[in-house]
Amino acid sequence: MKILSVKSLAMPDVKVVRYARFRDERGYFTELFRRSDFGGLPELSFLHGVQFSQFNESFSRANVIRGLHFQWNPYMGKLVRTSLGRMIDLVLDIRQDSPTYGRIVAYDMPARHTDDYGEWIWVPPGFAHGNVFTEPTQIVYLCSGEYSPGCEAGISPLTADLDWSACDPALKAIFDRAAAGPTMSDKDRNGLTLSAWGSDPRRENFVFGRC
């Protein structure tokens, strides 16, 4: 797997891994994942020791908003990529005592077959994860924990008490247009507010420096 770059977003624990595609007149070939690289390369040290136990695929139509989801017992980190279409990934810091608690960022991840690279985004435990889609889109993601019913919760991406100050204004504008009439599950639409999460006893599962 040829790693081109690794960068942090506004929350330093959230990483974007860019990897090479090898193109010719036929199309391209790429390695999406190699265990030895993810467990051994110095630039991927944040993934050393992470064991992926579940591999998910999701398809969403245009104007769909999903999230913001998180899980404990076991914790679930997610390594996410767009395989078809355009995903704008949403990541919210829910760790008590974190300097970026309540801050949400967005990252634009279209899948263009003409690009010489692809990207993974790493959303570690301690962050709520969601997406907004501008066109029919398929995503895939590796999870570091298996789904655990009863040990999950969600914060509504529509709640007014999120801190969008670190978000690219252009991506926030795309989100706002979708949020004016989104296709969402009732569960996501009626998720917790940030203030409700801040007084929920389950918040103690996510403390800065301990998850």
Q: Which of these is catalytic: 69, 101, 107, 129? A: 69
Residue that the structure tokens 């991927």 belong to: 44
DSSP state of 135: S
Active-site residue, from 19, 101, 107, 141: 141
Contact 147, 71 (CB under 8 A): yes
Cα dihedral: 127, 30, 139, 164 (round 10): 40
Cβ contacts of 8 within 8 Å, gap of 6 or more: 14, 15, 16
Does the annotation mark 69 as catalytic? yes
DSSP assigned state of 67: E
Which residues in 8-29 are b (16+ Cβ under 10 Å) and which e? Answer: ebbbebbbbbbbbbeeeeeeee
CA atoms within 13 A on the CB side of 160: 0
| Known catalytic membership, residue 141 | yes
Output phi, psi for 197, to 5 deg. -60, -35
Neighbours of 194 (CB within 10 A): 20
Give the catalytic positions in this structure. 69, 141
